[in-house]
Amino acid sequence: MTTPVHGFVLGKFMPPHAGHMYLCDFAAGLCDQLTILVCSLEREPIPGKLRHEWMSALYPDARVLHFDRDVPQEPSESPDFWDIWRELVRSVHPEPIHRVFASEDYGLRLAQELGAEFWPADPERACRLVSGTQIRQAPMAHWSMIAPPARPYFTRTIVLHGPESTGKSMLGQDLARALGGAYAPEFGRTWCELYGTDCSAEDLRNIAAGQAAAIQAARRTADGFVISDTDGLLTEVWSQMMLGASVFDPSPEPEADLYLLTDIDQPFVDDGTRVYSDPADRERFFALSVEALERQGVDYVRLSGSWEHRRVVALDAISRRFPHLIRQA
């Protein structure tokens, strides 16, 4: 009976990218059981737990482990560097390792320490055209190289927030096109078109849940940005307007990196699903919308004036806050 070949790969995967995927795919094709060790330190910019989750999602057939002890990272940091790493690997992988796969020089010495064969994978880096550092500094410039499970980490969510008939849907779709991002439409409109605008507490909680799900669904495939027409904070404002109090306990958590607050200085347009056309109601709705943002202490920009002026101000605010995600012409 042939002994199964155990392969071994380790790395930081911060984040996992095309070069890492080539390495792991190469290794998986040359062993019967692949173990991937995700190594992390507490001080690193991306949590190790997340990186472990990403690699586990990428390689469900591999054994993906996580090691987060603070140990020397370079031979120059300790005379016992190789002894430490040999014992570290053996502690998480007590079975014999037959093949060590790496694209860097350390792979040969690690293989020797473990009594394994070294199989170099793309040592010339022809398939690894980007580094984790480059991705962290400019993710949009290297978006296609980021492993799909890691892309939502770099995605930023922009939420349109404000009373009805203030141009949120129109502006949201426009911003998504301009930024090359994904648009999460207003779930409350869909719900009310189906069930009517006389909303109960349960309706409002369902609307908030549906909007949160829409945002998360959009984040899975977004290229850098999700533009959402409202979130749970505005649904809570709706509950205050419709039922006189919040139906949420606790209040919904903010779901945006930036809120765009749409002012009521444009004429009200009744499209059949809108409720509060009275100027006093609109003033109250806007005041509650501002209060919700202030209470949560979130970052927001107020958009007033013409539709084109709002678009210009919104794009400028987004570009200033997230320059690393703006596509270069």
**Contact criterion met (CB below 8 Å) for 233 and 239:** no
Predicted local confidence at residue 130, as pLDDT: 85
Q: Is the pLDDT of residue 322 over 70?
A: yes
Q: Is the pLDDT of residue 1 over 60?
A: no
State which residues form the domain around 274: 155-325
User: Per the domain annotation, does 1 fall within a domain?
Assistant: no
**Contact criterion met (CB below 8 Å) for 123 and 101:** no
Q: Which pair of structure tokens corresponds to residue 37?
A: 């060790």
Q: Which pair of structure tokens corresponds to residue 247?
A: 């139906």
Predicted local confidence at residue 327, as pLDDT: 76
Predicted local confidence at residue 273, as pLDDT: 62
Q: How far is CA 243 from the centre of its chain?
A: 34
Q: Are residues 173 and 321 in the same domain?
A: yes
Measure the CA–CA gap between 117 and 220, rounded to whole angstroms: 38
User: Per the domain annotation, does 147 fall within a domain?
Assistant: no
In this structure, the dihedral spanned by the alpha carbons of residues 200, 201, 203 and 204, taken in order and rounded to 10 degrees, is 120
> Over the stretch 107-139, which tens digit does the pLDDT of each residue have?
999 999 999 999 999 887 776 678 999 999 999
Predicted local confidence at residue 268, as pLDDT: 85
Measure the CA–CA gap between 291 and 281, rounded to whole angstroms: 15
Q: 181 Cβ partners below 8 Å, 6+ apart?
A: 158, 175, 222, 223, 224, 225, 226, 227
Measure the CA–CA gap between 154 and 166, rounded to whole angstroms: 29
Measure the CA–CA gap between 150 and 220, rounded to whole angstroms: 9
Q: Are residues 122 and 165 in the same domain?
A: no
Predicted local confidence at residue 124, as pLDDT: 79
User: Per the domain annotation, does 15 fall within a domain?
Assistant: yes
Across the range 271-297, mean pLDDT stands at 89
> Over the stretch 161-182, which tens digit does the pLDDT of each residue have?
999 989 999 999 999 999 999 9
Predicted local confidence at residue 269, as pLDDT: 81
Q: Are residues 102 and 175 in the same domain?
A: no
Q: Are residues 226 and 298 in the same domain?
A: yes
Q: Are residues 254 and 318 in the same domain?
A: yes
Residue at a domain's end among 139, 171, 193: 139
User: Per the domain annotation, does 130 fall within a domain?
Assistant: yes
Q: What percent of the chain has pLDDT over 90?
A: 85
Provide the pLDDT confidence category of residue 20 given band limits of 50, 70 and 90.
Answer: very high
Residue at a domain's end among 80, 107, 139: 139
Q: Could you tell me the CATH number of the domain that includes residue 54?
A: 3.40.50.620
Provide the pLDDT confidence category of residue 18 given band limits of 50, 70 and 90.
Answer: very high
Predicted local confidence at residue 328, as pLDDT: 63
Measure the CA–CA gap between 35 and 24, rounded to whole angstroms: 9
To the nearest whole number, what is the mean pLDDT of the chain? 93
Say how many CA atoms lie within 13 Å of 167 toward its Cβ.
22
Across the range 218-243, mean pLDDT stands at 95
Predicted local confidence at residue 71, as pLDDT: 93
Q: Which pair of structure tokens corresponds to residue 22?
A: 């080539």
Q: Are residues 112 and 199 in the same domain?
A: no
Q: Is the pLDDT of residue 2 over 90?
A: no
Predicted local confidence at residue 217, as pLDDT: 95
Q: How many domains does the chain have?
A: 2
Measure the CA–CA gap between 155 and 149, rounded to whole angstroms: 11
Q: Could you tell me the CATH number of the domain that includes residue 277?
A: 3.40.50.300
User: Per the domain annotation, does 248 fall within a domain?
Assistant: yes
Predicted local confidence at residue 272, as pLDDT: 65
pTM: 0.86
Q: Are residues 318 and 234 in the same domain?
A: yes
User: Per the domain annotation, does 149 fall within a domain?
Assistant: no
Q: 325 Cβ partners below 8 Å, 6+ apart?
A: 139, 140, 154, 156, 224, 225
